[in-house]
Amino acid sequence: MLLPILHYPDKRLRIKAAPIAKVDDSIRSLVKDMFETMYEAPGIGLAATQVNCHIRLIVIDTSDDKSQPLCLINPHIIEKDGELEWSEGCLSVPNYYECVTRANHIKVKALDQHGKAFELEAQELLGVCIQHEIDHLDGILFVDHLSKLKQRRLLEKTRKAQQ
């Protein structure tokens, strides 16, 4: 089932997501719906916050052919190093791209959709995507990493488009 994606500056995007206590069929169903929504959008990452579910769940697939679906439940970064600038976009901020500086290499710990714990090392696009989506779970948007001037211009442009 396709889920509606919240768009900036919707205040619900600022809600900090709660940890998932139990990975059950309702979570697995949400994971399935989130992948379907992300692929349809189209995008490479989606946080539950973006579909108005304020729990710590993200789905990602950075492949060109939808062959590398990755689900991270209660993800947290346990190591990061280096620095990398990457042009980012966001399904909640359509048609807007800006360069953001993030860690080049990360190690993340999470649960999969079956509740099994795992660790993953990532860099470049996958690493950027994981950091971007974890930010969503903390109520942070990629535009928050931009200058105040760029943030103000985007907000004005978005409000005009919504009128």
Catalytic amino acids? 133
- The DSSP bridge pattern shows strands 117-123 and 45-47 to be unpaired
What is the C-alpha separation between 156 and 100, in angstroms, rounded? 20
As a whole number of Å, the CA-based R_g of the chain is 15
Residue 111 forms beta bridges with which residues? 73, 117
What is the C-alpha separation between 141 and 136, in angstroms, rounded? 6
What is the C-alpha separation between 126 and 111, in angstroms, rounded? 17
**Side-chain-side CA neighbours of residue 58 (13 Å):** 26
CB atoms near residue 66 (< 10 Å)? 12
